[in-house]
Structure 1
Amino acid sequence: MVLLAEDDPAIADPLSRALQREGYEVEVVADGPSALEATAEQRVDLLVLDLGLPGMDGLEVCRRLRASGTELPVLMLTARTDEVDFVVGLDAGADDYVAKPFRLAELLARIRALLRRRVPEVLESGGIRMDLGARLVTVDGREVQLANKEFELLRVLMTRAGQVVSRDEILAEVWNDLESKTSKTLDMHMSWLRRKLAIATEDAGGKQADGERKIATVRGVGFRFNAE
């Protein structure tokens, strides 16, 4: 469950809906004491924490959580952009820090990155196996050599197998830089990844076309990893 501690409905409502569309269970609270109470009473996988909460600010909430010994991932949101505030937030125990206004795709990518620590070390679907710790990919038992970005692309898609992942979300999570990276960059790396999976599928006794179809293009939206 993702706990969203944000007192501004103009931010909390659309962000909550976006998280629910991603498949997360979401609870929204609007003040610091309620955030602390919710983390104590429920199983929370991630806390998205506004710095300027009423009742108790985000820094104090974070400090109290860390003092209690919890390792709950905390993503802090703030309208402040001063580097000192950024450092203070991290010193208080936040795992990541996003300044408002933020791009939704980038924020969702940061959230997935923090939740990844709870993702199994091995992803397996459709004959493809990813050992995230060893950074090893096999197709029907045969190892596939992937470059770093190709590996990350496959990880993003397999983590959400069967779901469409938008181009902006992939760019934000794999390159973490929406300004300098373009869809052309993404298409180029995706083409290389598809080709390597196709060759590996053929080497394993399957049809190259089957390997190419593992990753489907959803026109105008993004890509989907086909689990079957």
Structure 2
Amino acid sequence: MKLLLVEDDPSMQATLERSLTRRGMQVHACSDGRQALERWRSHEPDVVLLDLTLPGLDGLQVLERARGGGLATPVLILTARGTVGDRVIGLNTGADDYLAKPFDLDELEARLHALHRRRAAGQRETPSHTVGNLRYDRDSGAIYHGAQVLELTPRELALLQALMVKPGHAVSKERLFELVFPGEADVQYEAVEVVVYRLRKKLAPTGATLMTLRGLGYLLKAQA
């Protein structure tokens, strides 16, 4: 199991990373919300273990932007916020499970394996998304043109991933801005247009067209 551990407490992070690695998991740890979101997009794990109180972006913001970008990785929220209200908010934002601190390691491991099995069953049904000759491999996070990985910048990749999971449907500029420039308050919305312009040139030979729908956003569809 490839696990993305997002926890900002150094002691808790080290303990979980050590314990879960000993139990056979491949653990990549992040302590910052923005860093975690970038890692999630570029190297999609099997399961995400997500704390809510994080610097950069908090856990709910990370989860909301990941789900908005089409990342369907199972998420277990692990937090000291154990009230019913917090649990409902987390689950409504897109979490799959919730475990309050303090917790038992055996129970945590069992829940992570349950989410992993659920993901494996889902991947047998929908392992990737295709538009024209493009294929988005959700397991690796890469987008292929035929057998070759499409060479994209991180921002181009984030934008194309968001469009690939909703082929034929418009995605608003505001949503794309949140996914491509997370937490960058000093960047203008027009920056999305620059990424779109560059991406559109790279997509020309792929059999997919990136369309601008005035007032609605952007849409990806296969060329006729």
TM-score computed with the length of structure 2 as normaliser: 0.52
Is 2:53 aligned against 1:45? no
Matching of residues 131-150 of structure 1 within 5 Å: none
Change (3 A) 1:105 1:41: same
Residue number in structure 2 paired with 1:72:
73
- Report the secondary structure of 2:72's partner residue: coil
**Shift of residue 24 of structure 1?**
1.2
> Contact between 2:44 and 2:73, CA under 8 Å: does it hold in 1?
no
Cα distance in 1, alignment partners of residues 45 and 121 from structure 2: 17
**Shift of residue 120 of structure 1?**
6.5
Cα distance in 1, alignment partners of residues 61 and 95 from structure 2: 11
Give runs of ≥4 in structure 1 deviating > 2 Å.
Answer: 118-121
Residue number in structure 1 paired with 2:110:
109
> Could you say what the CA RMSD is over the residues aligned between the two structures, in angstroms?
1.5
Change (3 A) 1:93 1:19: same
Residue number in structure 1 paired with 2:4:
3
- Report the secondary structure of 2:55's partner residue: coil
Residue number in structure 2 paired with 1:167:
none
**Shift of residue 22 of structure 1?**
1.6
Residue number in structure 2 paired with 1:179:
none
Q: Which amino acid aligns with 1:82?
A: T
Would you say how many aligned residue pairs link Structure 1 and Structure 2? Answer: 121
Matching of residues 70-219 of structure 1 within 5 Å: 70-119=71-120
Larger radius of gyration: 1
Q: Bigger relative contact order, structure 1 or 2, given CA contacts below 8 A and separation 6+?
A: 2
- Report the secondary structure of 1:85's partner residue: helix
- Report the secondary structure of 1:113's partner residue: helix
- Report the secondary structure of 1:28's partner residue: strand
Residue number in structure 2 paired with 1:35:
36
- Gapped regions of structure 2 (runs ≥ 5): 123-224
**Shift of residue 118 of structure 1?**
4.0
Residue by residue over 1:126-160, the C-alpha shift from the partner in whole angstroms, topping out at 9 and shown as x without a partner, is xxxxxxxxxxxxxxxxxxxxxxxxxxxxxxxxxxx
**Shift of residue 17 of structure 1?**
1.1
- Gapped regions of structure 1 (runs ≥ 5): 122-228
Change (3 A) 1:119 1:93: closer
Q: Which amino acid aligns with 2:117?
A: R
- Report the secondary structure of 2:25's partner residue: coil
**Shift of residue 119 of structure 1?**
4.5
Cα distance in 1, alignment partners of residues 121 and 104 from structure 2: 28
Residue number in structure 2 paired with 1:14:
15
Q: Which amino acid aligns with 1:18?
A: S
Q: Which amino acid aligns with 1:14?
A: T
- Report the secondary structure of 1:54's partner residue: coil
Cα distance in 2, alignment partners of residues 120 and 79 from structure 1: 31
Residue number in structure 1 paired with 2:141:
none
**Shift of residue 8 of structure 1?**
0.6
Cα distance in 1, alignment partners of residues 63 and 51 from structure 2: 10
Cα distance in 2, alignment partners of residues 79 and 118 from structure 1: 26
